[in-house]
Amino acid sequence: MRLDKFTTKAQEALQDAHGISAERGQQQVDVLHLLKALLLQEESLVLAIIEKFGADAKKIEKEIDSAIDRLPRLTVFSGGILQAYLTQDLGRILENSFREAEKMKDEFVSTEHFLLAMLSTPNKAREILEKNGLNYDGVLKVLAEIRGGEQVTDTEPETRYRVLERYTKNLT
């Protein structure tokens, strides 16, 4: 897997997913960890998409946390190193995210490609997202609206989308 083909936000999400897994003492990094990382990300495109659907992001996050809590944990003794591995589901999502980027004629894999791959591949994150009203075709439509025909041609496309400004409510 070539990390140089991921946008900065996509790379950060993968690192954060690993961090979430490690914080919980879990050896495997799963799709659920990645989805949680995408929801927590600053200026999250995935969060904007979820809110555009009218779904309750906090409820989704609680469901993700509950599912993550059911994943196996390891006990690591003081000073021990926890080696992390990607689950098969996450490996498939990453592979499919490249396909999604290709379909959209994007040069880099971005966070929206992760979301589309999650919704097009059987996995626990997909179940949670679909239960809360998200679906592949709907996300494609929302993305077309947000992106306005732009393609991902560099590692910082999210800055051009002005996601928070256009698609979320200011609660202050």
* CATH code, domain with 71: 1.10.1780.10
Residue 21 lies in a domain: yes
CA–CA dist 46, 111 (Å, integer) = 7
CA–CA dist 73, 134 (Å, integer) = 29
Residue 26 lies in a domain: yes
Residue 131 lies in a domain: yes
pLDDT tens, per residue, the chain with 172 residues = 677 899 999 999 999 999 999 999 898 999 999 999 999 998 889 999 999 999 999 999 999 999 999 998 876 555 555 677 999 999 999 999 999 999 999 999 999 999 999 999 999 999 999 999 999 999 999 999 888 877 887 787 766 665 445 555 555 4
Residue 79 lies in a domain: yes
Q: Residue 122: give the domain boundaries.
A: 3-167
Residue 163 lies in a domain: yes
Residue 94 lies in a domain: yes
CB 33 within 8 A of CB 14: no
CA–CA dist 26, 91 (Å, integer) = 17
How many structural domains does the chain have? 1
Residue 129 lies in a domain: yes
Kindly list the distances between the CA atom of residue 21 and the CA atoms of 84, 95, 116, 121, 167, in Å, as whole numbers in the listed order. 8, 20, 22, 21, 30
Residue 172 lies in a domain: no
Place of tokens 């906090």: 58
